[in-house]
Structure 1
Amino acid sequence: MLYLLPTPIGNLADITLHTLDILSKAEVFLCEDTRISKQLLSLLIQKNLLQPKDRDFYPFHTHNQDKFLCEISKDFFSQNVVFMSDAGMPCISDPGSALVNFARSNDIEFEIVLGGSAPTLAFAYSGFGDRGYVFDSFLPHKREERREKLRYWLRALGNENGVPLVCFESPHRLWESLGDLLEVDKDCKLFAIKEMTKKFQKSFFGNVEEVLSQMQGENLQGEWCLVIEFSKQTLQKTLSADEILEFPLPPKLKSKLLSKLTDISTKEWYERLIQEEK
């Protein structure tokens, strides 16, 4: 059977009893990073939460998952196979989805065990309401693409029914990303938190400018999670071509408006309107 297991996002004590029970029975480990998985098991053994045992470890990540699944047989999963991502829930900005789809396609029994997830914890810390959130993993690396993505979410979520956006950011791009957010929506509310559940957990809250000011002189190293509540945008009323056609306007003015809404030139619209009047 296949098990997809959550791992603590920082604090070892967040491991669940359910996860420990499956780890004790596991024979084979598929790991996003075998070194990190082995280190976690070693710490659990040191804490007497897990007994030493011979286990087989295989790397399984976004760069090799397709090749691995093409070469593996269905019989591989007749043993207790565990997949572990580096931290948090598998399939949430982590490998795992390919395994789920492979298991479904090959009638392999699988279970995904519940555990801690950074986006959920960050959203709870933010206090931005209880109507849910949208998760978008990491923001794009390139500035223009990042700004366009932020503009997209501002249009999609900057309304009365909009919910907050939760995303990750690297410490190397944090300052630039917040600068882009300031450019796109300076009035949004922002909750930024790093190193959740760890010793050096730190968070900042306010509008973007306030958060940037609070961060001055701070150590920005660590994994960051951002929760953004976009400012409410005034909805602009729009008119359709059919509505404009019904207006009692001169043909010259009407044709200019219609050309803005369609792929038809002002001249062609004018000729159409004149023809209709005749």
Structure 2
Amino acid sequence: MGPGDGAEPKGSPWARGSKPSAGLYLVATPIGNLGDITLRALDVLGHADLVACEDTRVTGKLMQLLGLKAPLSPYHDHNADKARPALLARLRKGEVVALVSDAGTPMVSDPGFKLVRDCIESDIPVTALPGASAVLTALQLSGIAAERFLFAGFLPSKGAARRAALQELAQVPATMVFYESPHRTGESLADMVTVLGDRMGAVTRELTKLHEEVARGSLAQLAQRYADTPPRGEVAIVVSGPGAGGPVTQADMEGRLRAEIEKGLSVKDASALVAAETGHPRRDVYAKALRLFRGGNEE
């Protein structure tokens, strides 16, 4: 029996009034809007014997806002090796331990995978509670194809190392998502133009919060926009994948348009096809096609 079968197994963490069965629960928390907490998350956090978190101050404030009380224990990059044995000991005793990050889904840019790995090796149950994710939210709002994507985390802070990292990713046939600090956003975008070519991109900030903003355009346009005025708040950058053979030049685009129209496609249909293949905005490709083939079959 699986999700959606209509019946709740005994000890289900979403069963009203019951304590979840023992094990590790990976609990997603809001990335900005408190209303994005899930009912399952509320139930598990409310019943947990312990909540392991990156920063007890951040999670403590969240618990207070949600009206929940549970012991908190820090679990982060700097103490994970020392803290993990104690967490495993409590789990082996049959306790309910919830693992949260400061915001969003655990296991994304945090040390949680080592705890999960050790639980799996010790036959300790592990359950994930889906919820808010900056990666997926950025993808949704970017306007860039997301059938295949790669989360690339944070790029190195130094220019040479950052460009080397981008070079390793240059031919990955997928949309990419990066986390970035606001004050390095302009520099990173400029390096992306240099290494990846002028692909389409989106800079998202303060997702789900009051001042949520998504800037879309070519990487060159975005680099210019943020060169002297860094964005504020938490930033995620979405970059389209490479075109066939690498970044698409204007000559390449004209050639593709011409080839499709010669096959009998209308200007409109040819533009839609080339836009999908290259990641360029459909309106821009259509405008170029009209300039090149004005008088042709536009429908």
TM-score (norm 1): 0.75
Q: Output the amino acid matched with 1:105.
A: E
- The match for 1:245 is none
Q: Aligned partners of 1:198, 1:63: CA distance in 2, in Å?
A: 29
Report the Cα offset of residue 8 of structure 1: 0.5
Q: What's the CA shift for 1:16?
A: 0.5
1:112 aligns with 2:128: yes
Q: 2:167 aligns with which of 151, 175, 184?
A: 151
Unaligned ranges ≥5, structure 2: 1-22, 247-299
- Equivalent in 101, 106, 126 of residue 85 of structure 1: 101
SS of the aligned residue for 2:32 comes to: coil
Distance 1:70 1:26, change over 3 A: closer
Q: 1:231 to 1:101 in 2, by over 3 A?
A: closer
In the alignment, is the contact (CA less than 8 A) between 2:28 and 2:132 conserved in 1? yes
Q: 1:254-273 counterparts in 2 under 5 A?
A: none
Is residue 2:140 matched to residue 1:124?
Answer: yes
**Does 1:192 find its partner at 2:208?**
no
SS at match of 1:193: strand
- Checking the alignment, whether the CA contact within 8 Å between 1:187 and 1:230 is kept in structure 2 is no
Q: What residue number does 1:65 align with?
A: 80
The question of whether the paired residues in 2 share the 8 Å contact of 1:4 and 1:112 is answered with yes
List alignment gaps of at least 5 residues for structure 1: 236-278
What's the CA shift for 1:73?
5.1
Q: CA deviation at 1:130?
A: 3.9
How far has the Cα of 1:127 moved from its partner?
1.9
Equivalent residue of 2:25, what SS? strand
SS of the aligned residue for 1:181 comes to: helix
**Which residue identity lines up with residue 15 of structure 1 in the other structure?**
I
Stretches of 4+ moved more than 6 A in 1?
Answer: none
Following superposition, the deviation at residue 12 of structure 1 comes to 0.4
Residue in 1 that maps onto 2:89 = 74
Identity %: 36
**AA in 2 matched with 1:2:** L
Equivalent residues of 1:85, 1:95 under 8 A apart = no
Q: Deviations over 1:140-175 (max 9, x none)?
A: 111111101112211x23xxxx22111100112112
- SS of 1:7 mapped into structure 2: coil
Instruction: State the secondary structure of the residue aligned to 1:172.
Output: helix
TM-score, reference length from structure 2: 0.70
Instruction: Give the deviation of 1:10 after TM superposition.
Output: 0.7
**1:229 matched to 2:258:** no
From 25, 45, 51, the equivalent of 1:29 is 51
> Is the Cα–Cα contact under 8 Å of residues 176 and 239 in structure 2 kept in the other structure?
yes
Q: Give the distance between the partners of 1:94 and 1:72, measured in 2 at CA.
A: 16
Which of 171, 176, 180 is matched with 2:182 structurally?
A: 171
Q: Which is greater in Rg?
A: 1
**2:169 and 2:222 mapped to 1: Cα distance?**
20
Cα pair 2:203 2:215 within 8 Å, conserved: yes
Cα displacement (A) at 1:219:
5.5
Structure 1 205/72 Cα, relative in aligned 2: closer, same or farther at 3 Å?
Answer: closer
How far apart are 1:216 and its partner, in Å? 6.3
What is the CA RMSD across the aligned residues, in angstroms?
1.9
2:71 is aligned to 56
**Greater shift after overlay, 113-122 or 67-76?**
67-76
Q: Any idea what the Cα deviations from partners look like across 1:160-213, whole Å, max 9, x if unmatched?
A: xx2211110011211211121122234211111111001111121111221133
SS at 1:147 equivalent = helix
Counterpart among 223, 237, 252 of residue 212 in structure 1: 223
CA distance in structure 1 between the partners assigned to 2:53 and 2:29 by the alignment: 11
Q: Helix, strand or coil: the match of 1:196?
A: coil
Match of 2:193? 182
The higher relative CO (CA closer than 8 Å, separation ≥ 6) is in: 1
Structure 1 pair 138/219, CA: closer, same or farther in 2 (3 Å)? closer
Matched with 2:281 is none
Q: Aligned in 2, Cα 1:209/1:73: closer, same or farther, shift over 3 Å?
A: closer
Name the amino acid aligned to 1:138: F
Kept after mapping to 2: 8 A contact 1:171/1:223: yes
Structure 2 counterpart of 1:224, one-letter code: V
Q: Given residue 100 of structure 2, which amino acid in structure 1 is its aligned partner?
A: M
Q: Please state how far the C-alpha of 1:94 moved relative to its aligned partner.
A: 2.1
